[in-house]
Amino acid sequence: MASPTQQLHELGQSLWLDNITRTMLDDGGLQRYIDDCSITGLTSNPSIFDNAIESGAYDAAIREKGAAGLTGEALFFELAIEDLRRAADAFLAVHERTAGVDGWVSLEVSPELAYDPEATARAAAALHAQAGRKNLFIKIPGTAEGLPAVTASIAAGVPVNVTLLFDADQYRAAADAYLTGIEQRVARGLDPDVGSVASVFMSRWDKAVADRIPDTLRDKLALAVGGDVYRAYREVLDSDRMQRLATEGARPQRLLWASTSTKDPHAPDTLYVGGLAAPNTINTMPDSTVLAFADHGEVGEPMAPDGGDCDAVLAEFAAAGIDVAALAAQLQTDGADAFVKSWKHLIERIESQRSSVA
């Protein structure tokens, strides 16, 4: 019998690893995830690199690059791009076999540029060119300020992972930004085949309301929001706008479930994997969640294209005093602030390590 992760893969969902370290590249850890757990892509973020750098795994590289005069952000991007090139190469066969649908890795643009769309788009183009890998996304937050950079990057042919999305409205805005960029390429006679994913964060929903709701609603909000998002995704896929662009050679922006590790110790550790199983989507998971699902995960019925009972469950939360739309906005704002904080901490870590190993 196929493993739970293989069953998800056969359902049509891509499983990506939300982690990267030089150690796992060197010791074959990433390849084992590919071979044993059906992993077909990878995401990264500043906190992941921060923890890896703290471990000392990058000391030799930091010493070498620091001696060459690299500091701060420039030093970090050199380290990260070296790793992500290797990861991209590990997934290249998947990328080519799926004609570019799968087999991607992601690198985040500096969140300190978040309120400057033009600077973000320039940085995205420069990082993608520096990496030199066709299966590398640049992560841009799907905030009001970030969405114009998404459109500009897609129009320039830069693949984008639109991150920091929380609800259906934010997803629709990200999809619109992507489609607008593709329409600009079509109008200019350019190839409209530019990859993109829209990353919707899940577990933070249940954590945010844990102390404000009755026990009967515990750990139900994220999956209800997910049902609403998935319904919106299917509507975008079926829309006249997407169908028109498909005839020009464009491909859909795929939906990616992010932040899928369970925060409630009393809830199943695979809650946001089994509950978000759906074809033509992606679930990116930290190591512990991948291994948990591979060990004891269960694949049931896929998500309902019409959202299933999401409206009824969301109505229960509204009756309990939870303003879901307002919470989505707050989660996005808090997430953007946390990204900046993590980024600053990462750069401070880089500089500290550079000084200590010099």
Ramachandran sector of residue 300 (left: φ over 0; alpha: ψ -120 to 50; beta: rest): beta
Phi, psi of 246, rounded to the nearest 5 degrees: -60, -35
From CA 218, how far away is CA 209, in angstroms rounded? 8
Q: How large is the greatest C-alpha to C-alpha distance in the chain, in angstroms?
A: 60
Whole-angstrom distance, CA of residue 196 vs CA of residue 234: 16
| Angle at alpha carbon of residue 116, lines to 226 and 187, rounded to 5° | 75
d(CA 281, CA 202): 14
Residue 84, CB half-sphere, CA atoms under 13 Å: how many? 30
Q: Which residue has the tokens 């602030």?
A: 337
Residues annotated as catalytic are: 139
Neighbours of 251 (CB within 10 A): 17
Give the whole-angstrom CA distance, residue 66 versus residue 160. Answer: 30
CA–CA distance, 124 with 152 (Å, rounded to integer): 10
